[in-house]
Chain A
Amino acid sequence: MTARSEHPAGSAAAAALRVRGLRKSYGEVLAVDGVSFEVAPGEILGLLGPNGAGKTTIINTVLAVLTPDSGSIRIGDLDVSRQRSLALARTNFAAVYASLPGNLTVAQNLNFFGLIYRVHSLRHRVEELLGQFQLEALRDTKCGVLSSGELTRVALAKALLNRPRLLLLDEPTASLDPAAARDTRAAIRALARHSDCGVLWTSHNMYEVEEVCDRVLFLSHGRILLAGDPRSLPREHGAPNLEELFIQLAREPLAKPAERLA
């Protein structure tokens, strides 16, 4: 495994997401420093790192709401910078900081975003998702009065509206109770397996990451420090578990882990 770039073998032509040499700074602050990675179809890739490591910046550049200073992003065979609308039509996302308009009901939000994503048989798709996320009873409830767990379920339903080939989930289970979180993980895993949807998943819950992710990338100061299987990485690097490995990496100065773990 290299420390700066991670490409699953044999996936180059068909990657759900391919990021190359991504770099972004805000003034003097370098948020992402030459990051390269891929998400294969059907793969769930965990993007891990302490707060401020660059995870959300990467997600925002993939979603084209932030222009990178350099580097390229391809969703399938589409270049995000040149074919933004087409690329985003096969992408979707859910994030705790991007809640849906609170003044629309659950069904209205799904109809609204369904039209934006030009979902075929929208009425049927909305019903399907209301059922899948147990939202039927809340269909006419305004999102602004939902609990955070219910809001997360609505956001996930919106994220699956267009049957995306790439799904970006920024701490998708942060507000869910353990049972709902487990159901959500199972739903996302099933989606990845059965629809070949690539998933980029960020979380601070290392138990969840071990359970869900096929691979993880550890980010710190905008660089990938480490990449690999979340179930074997701790052992390979002398840590008792993934959480301890995370804490070690997050606390060490930037240069040292890169040298030691490469």
Chain B
Amino acid sequence: MRIAPVAAILLRQWYLLRGSPVRALPMFAWVGIDIVLWGFIARFLNSVSAAGINFTTVFLGAVLLWDLCGRVMQGLTTAFLEDVWSRNFLNLFASPLRISEYVTGLVLASIATSLIGLTVMVALAVPVFGLSFLALGAHLLLFLAVLYGFGVALGIMASAMVLRFGPASEWLVWPIPALLSPFCAVFYPLSILPAWMRGIAHVLPPSYVFEGMRTVLDGRPFAPLPALIALALAASEIALAGYYFVRVYRRAVRTGLLARYSAETVS
């Protein structure tokens, strides 16, 4: 892994953000709207519920963490799509740039952009709606690591899908977090789900995060095994997504799709 080519991918993202404020807006606009919406919902539920649940932490914390995961995925995919939109594949892949360097650059770009989103979310949720992560303690770092890892895996997988199926498949990518959220049990315990949905949830690292978050907030101990499973799942899903990306890339080189990418198919 060489630093300069990875830095090139990051530099390109910086140039694009600096040159077009419109690109910066989605980093915090949608997450800001989510925080405001769920902040008021949580405030309302706190005022009418006698269950003793702190909805601000349960709902707003969950929204914040789930949005973060989605921002990581979308940050990575958007950085990849910049090359699709500007028809830059030939210039990039006919250069000494290695696939590992390209993907690492995309991952770092997405981490950087999602951190901006996270800052905005925390800046809104903590002072305005009284969200406190103190109750989560050191577990928060573990939860963030798992969600970042899963977001990266989703982003690489989504980029591979666009590379495999052409620019028009972009529309398949954006709804992925929404499609997965029911399985990840963001707002409810896993036990609510039917058995087949729980089966899927068990291979999705965020389900362990949100289950763990509720466990910690209930004052119960969060066992180390689910945490290890979540980390291991996130790491293996990143590896799997990377493997799929490389396979798709090699296929595109073999069939000629990469050189004629805008045609979407070589047949």
Q: Which residues of A contact B (CB under 8 A)?
A: 26-27, 56-57, 60, 63-67, 84-86, 88-89, 93, 95, 97-105, 108, 111-113, 115-118, 142, 158
Contacts of A101 in B (CB 8 A): 12, 82, 86, 88, 91
Complex-state Cα separation, A89 to B95, whole angstroms: 7
Whether the Cβ atoms of B5 and A115 lie closer than 8 Å is yes
Q: Are A116 and B93 in contact (CB under 8 A)?
A: no
Q: For the complex, count residues of B whose C-beta is within 8 A of A.
A: 34
Q: Known contacts being A60-B259, A99-B87, is A112 close to B15, with CB within 8 Å?
A: yes
Cα(A142)–Cα(B15), bound, Å:
11
Evaluate contact between A65 and B258: CB separation under 8 angstroms.
yes
Among A57, A97, A118, contact of B4 (Cβ-Cβ < 8 Å): A118
Report yes or no: B96 in contact with A115, Cβ–Cβ below 8 A.
no
Interchain CA distance A118-B4 in the complex, whole Å: 6
Q: List the B residue with the shortest CB-CB distance to A86.
A: B96
B92 within 8 A of A: yes
Within 8 A of A (CB), among B90-113: 90-98
Roughly how many angstroms separate A254 CA and B92 CA in the complex, as a whole number? 36
- Assembled-state Cα–Cα distance A105/B8 (Å): 15
**Complex: chain A residue closest to B86, CB-CB:** A101
**Interface SS of B by simple majority:** helix
Inter-chain contact B259/A26, CB cutoff 8 Å: no
- Which of B4, B97, B256 sits near A60, CB closer than 8 Å? B256
Across the interface, which residues of B come within 8 angstroms of A86, CB to CB? 96
Q: Tell me if B91 and A108 are in contact (CB < 8 A).
A: no
Taking CB atoms, residues of chain A closer than 8 Å to B250 are 67
Inside 8 A of B91's CB, which chain A residues have their CB?
Answer: 98, 100-101, 113, 158
* Those of B1-48 within 8 Å (CB) of chain A: 2, 4-5, 7-8, 11-12, 15-16, 19-20
- Also in contact, A113 and B2, with CB within 8 A (given A66-B253, A103-B19): no
- The answer to whether B256 touches A26 (Cβ under 8 A) is yes
* A103 contacts B16, C-beta separation under 8 Å: yes
Known: A85-B98, A118-B2, A118-B96. A112 touches B90 (CB 8 A): no
CB pair A27–B267 under 8 Å, yes or no, is: yes
**Nearest-CB distance from A112 to chain B (Å)?**
5
Inter-chain contact A95/B259, CB cutoff 8 Å: no
Contacts of A93 in B (CB 8 A): 94
Contact status of A102 and B86, CB under 8 A, knowing A65-B259, A115-B5, A118-B2: yes
- CB neighbours (8 Å) of B193 from chain A are none
Q: Are A108 and B15 in contact (CB under 8 A)?
A: yes
Whether A64 and B12, one on each chain, are in contact in the complex, defined by CB atoms closer than 8 angstroms, is no
Are B259 and A115 in touch, CB under 8 angstroms? Answer: no
With most chain B CB atoms within 10 A of its CB, the pick from A93, A111, A118, A142 is: A118
Contact B5 A104 (CB under 8 A): no
- B7 x A115 contact (CB < 8 A): yes
* Residue in A closest to B254 when the chains form the complex, CB atoms: A67
User: Closest CB of chain B to A123's CB: distance in Å?
Assistant: 13
Question: What's the minimum C-beta distance from B93 to chain A, rounded to whole angstroms?
Answer: 5
A108 to B5 Cα, complex, angstroms: 14
Residues from chain A with Cβ under 8 Å of B12 in the complex: 101, 104, 108, 112
Interface CB pairs A-B, < 8 A, 14: A26-B266, A57-B256, A64-B94, A65-B90, A65-B93, A65-B253, A66-B256, A97-B90, A98-B90, A100-B88, A101-B88, A101-B91, A115-B5, A158-B91
- Asked whether, in the complex, the Cβ of A63 is within 8 Å of the Cβ of B94, the reply is yes
Using A104-B12, A111-B11 as known contacts, say yes or no to A117 and B20 having CB atoms under 8 A apart: no
**Residue of A27, A66, A84, A113 touching B258 (CB-CB under 8 A):** A66
Shortest C-beta distance, B5 to chain A (Å), equals 5
Pick the contact of A88: B20, B88, B95 (CB < 8 A): B95
Chain B residues lying within 8 Å of A111, measured Cβ to Cβ, are 11
* Minimum distance in angstroms from A76 CB to a CB of chain B: 14
